[in-house]
Amino acid sequence: MEFDVELVRMAIIYLATLILSISIHEFGHAFVADRLGDPLPRAQGRVTLNPIAHIDPIGTIAFPLLGFLFAMGGSSLGRFMLGWGKPVQVSLHPARMTRRFRAKTAHLFIAAAGPMMNLLLAAIASALYLLLLQAQVSDRGLVVGLIQMNIGLALFNLIPCPPLDGGTIFAGLAPDRSPVVAFLQRHGQMIFFALLFTGLISILMRPVHWLTYLWIGQLQQWAP
């Protein structure tokens, strides 16, 4: 693999979009938990957009960057190396909650907030992309990366399998004592890693990649 200026530039764009996307995702979890009255995220300094509060040095920087370099070098190892942030911890103690929701409902709202914040950031980046197209700015790589990263991160996390947010959302929507939820809570992590290491997760994500490129193409058509 040849390490040239363009490769370094692409790595910087990738890492910058990943850090911003993960930070906004974790902030969404913390913000909603805080609004529900849970004091723990604020006490731990997580109700902030400052990336320093949300990044994990290994999961947000080292591991994804290594995966990017593997992928650019043509290695299949790259697809196994995902990024993650520092998980937001919640207590949801009934005596401290200012919003009286059932625990499963509160967990649903908190889990859904992360992907929703990613979709919001993708919408803002899309509006910025239109402005850059109108201004005929040629260097739009960071904005395109934000759109792709946040749509992908949002929809990936909505897969209804623990430990992803989709697993918590599904549990919140399912009937009480659902056997499917009980099965996923017991075996979800094993299923997730099986999907990841067999490459099936990339097959599941193909429609997401197609949707992302379709959306960017649509934005280009809307620009005068």
Each residue's pLDDT tens digit in the chain (224 positions)?
Answer: 455 677 778 888 888 899 999 999 999 999 999 999 999 999 999 999 999 999 999 888 888 888 777 777 665 555 555 788 999 999 987 777 776 788 899 999 999 999 999 999 999 999 999 999 999 888 888 899 999 999 999 999 999 999 999 999 999 999 999 999 999 999 999 999 898 888 888 888 889 989 999 999 999 999 87
Residues 34, 83: one domain? Answer: yes
Domain for residue 99, yes or no? no
| pLDDT at position 198 | 85
Contact 151, 212 (CB under 8 A): yes
Task: Give domain status of residue 74, yes or no.
Answer: yes
Residues 79 and 165 in one domain: no
Q: How far is CA 176 from the centre of its chain?
A: 27
Pick the last residue of a domain from 67, 87, 107.
Answer: 87
Residue 95 lies in a domain: no
The distance from CA 191 to its chain's CA centroid, rounded to whole angstroms, is 19
Q: Give the pair of three-digit tokens for residue 51.
A: 């990336």
pLDDT of residue 124: 97
Residue 111 lies in a domain: no
Query: What is the C-alpha separation between 193 and 151, in angstroms, rounded?
Result: 22
Domain identity same for 137 and 224: yes
pTM: 0.90
Same-domain pairing of 132 and 207: yes
- How is residue 47 annotated by DSSP? S
The predicted pLDDT at position 70 comes to 73
Counting other chains too, the contacts that 104-108 makes at CB distance below 8 Å and 24 or more residues apart are 104/171, 104/172, 104/176, 105/172, 106/33, 106/36, 106/38, 107/168, 107/171, 107/172, 108/168, 108/169, 108/171, 108/172, 108/173
- What local confidence, expressed as pLDDT, does residue 41 receive? 96
Among 36, 64, 87, the domain boundary falls at 87
6 classed as catalytic: no
HEC states along 153-190? Answer: HHHHHCCCCCCCHHHHHHHHHCCCCCHHHHHHHHHHHH
| Chain mean position to CA 25 | 6
Q: Which domain holds residue 62?
A: 1-87
The answer to whether the CB of 13 falls within 8 A of the CB of 142 is yes
Residue 107 lies inside a defined structural domain of this protein: no
pLDDT at 103: 87
The residue among 65, 87, 109 that closes a domain is: 87
In a domain, 5, yes or no: yes
Q: Are residues 141 and 78 in the same domain?
A: no
CB 154 within 8 A of CB 122: yes
Q: Are residues 83 and 22 in the same domain?
A: yes
Tell me if 105 is assigned to some domain. Answer: no
188 found inside a domain: yes
Residue 161 shares a structural domain with residue 74: no
Q: Which residue among the candidates 18, 22, 24, 26 is catalytic per the annotation?
A: 26
How many structural domains does the chain have?
2
